[in-house]
Chain A
Amino acid sequence: MYLSKIRITLRPSILDPQGKAVEHAVGSLGVGTVQGIRMGKYVEMKVEAKTEADAKRITEDVCRKLLANPVMEDFAFEIEKV
């Protein structure tokens, strides 16, 4: 069994009004200068596969077909044996 840890982020060309709103709020914390806040999603899933390569292939498939929309999002993941 493998554990996939997936990060889904808005593509750089996509404006992120949510990130901007959060950035604005951070500004009022008075903790110094924080810039470039971008919001994304984090997904974990367990994958039953014989090899790490298989787990990677399955994870990629799930990301491409469901978890991320390639028009607006990029994804990246790490896989560990559990």
Chain B
Amino acid sequence: MSADQVRFGVVVFPGSNCDHDAYHIVKKVLGEDAVFLWHKETDLKDADVIILPGGFSYGDYLRCGAIARFSPVMKEVVRFAEQGGTVLGICNGFQILVEAGLLPGVLLRNASLQFICRYVRLKVENTSTRFTSACAAGEVLSIPIAHGDGNYFTDPETLERLEENGQVVFRYCDIQGRLTRDANPNGSLANIAGIVNEQGNVLGMMPHPERASDPLLGHTDGQKIFRSVIAHCQSMVFTSRGRV
């Protein structure tokens, strides 16, 4: 690993199934360093960024993400996030983040009750986060979703706070960037597809940027999210403890 490479730690829960995709993108496509972190581990192996990948951790038993939250590795991820570390939760990873209390709200069953697997358009609502700095203001990204429980919900007070703080990062939109009801695939409140925490270091999103990052697959909009994170980490100062 060279000194300026960013190290991604991809957490693997029993039932994760997008872990290898995320690993492949950051390591093989974007040329950074990546390690897998088994859910029983308590050492984050000096990762600069933690990815909670998509899948069906613990078979989605009880509620999506509810059991993964109690994995030994999650104690460390919570500590890492509380210290300002960068955490990206994708799909099931987003569900785990809300269950762990790192992000507000909850992801309910899709309003249609159907599992939806297709490309959606996402409007980038905030480009000043460490996850979206490579995007243009109001840019419309094309990234696929694949979930049965992605219907974002929270109470009115929390929604107001999210909006005021610019914590809503991605919204489902049409090709022109309009936030219509038809463009909302799952019934999410205010077309919300992705949010950050108040500190801006934890992002949860239902769409899968790792599935739209390898040029071989034809879409590369997802790269913008990984490239933003990489640029952020490379701008950080090195200390004896690594990047802070």
Selected from A14, A15, A21, A69, the residue in CB contact (under 8 A) with B63 is: A69
14 intermolecular pairs with C-beta atoms under 8 Å apart: A14-B108, A14-B153, A17-B109, A17-B111, A17-B113, A18-B113, A66-B62, A69-B63, A69-B66, A69-B99, A69-B106, A71-B106, A71-B154, A72-B106
**Which A residues are closer than 8 A to B by beta carbons?**
14-15, 17-18, 21, 66-67, 69, 71-72
Question: Is the pair B66, A66 in contact by a Cβ cutoff of 8 Å?
Answer: yes
A18 B108 Cβ-Cβ under 8 A: no
Question: In the complex, what distance in Å separates the CA atom of A72 from the CA atom of B109?
Answer: 11
CA of A69 to CA of B154 in the docked complex: distance in angstroms? 12
Over the window 153-174 of chain B, the binary record of Cβ atoms lying under 8 Å from chain A Cβ atoms (1 yes, 0 no) is 1110000000000000000000
| Chain B interface size, under 10 / 10 to 19 / 20 to 34 / 35 or more | 10 to 19
Chain B residues in contact with chain A, CB under 8 A? 62-63, 66, 70, 98-99, 105-106, 108-113, 153-155, 187
Known: A67-B62, A71-B154, A72-B153. A15 touches B99 (CB 8 A): no
Q: How far is the CB of A44 from chain B (nearest CB, A)?
A: 14
Shortest beta-carbon distance, B150 to chain A, in Å?
A: 13
A67 to B62, CA, bound (A): 7
Complex contacts, A71 vs chain B, CB 8 Å: 98, 105-106, 153-155
Chain B hits for A69, CB < 8 A: 63, 66, 99, 106
- Name 19 extra pairs, CB < 8 A, besides A14-B108, A17-B112, A69-B66: A14-B153, A15-B108, A15-B111, A15-B187, A17-B109, A17-B110, A17-B113, A18-B109, A18-B113, A21-B113, A66-B62, A66-B66, A67-B62, A69-B99, A69-B106, A71-B105, A71-B106, A71-B155, A72-B106
**A1 to nearest B CB, angstroms?**
24
* Residues of chain B lying within 8 A (CB to CB) of residue A18: 109, 113
Q: How far is the CA of A32 from the CA of B153 in the complex (A)?
A: 34
Report B-chain residues with C-beta under 8 Å of the C-beta of A72: 106, 108, 153
With CB as the reference atom, state the residue of chain B lying closest to A70: B106
Report how far A67 CA is from B66 CA in the complex, Å. 9
Chain A residues, Cβ within 8 Å of B105: 71
In the bound complex, CA of A74 to CA of B141 (Å):
37
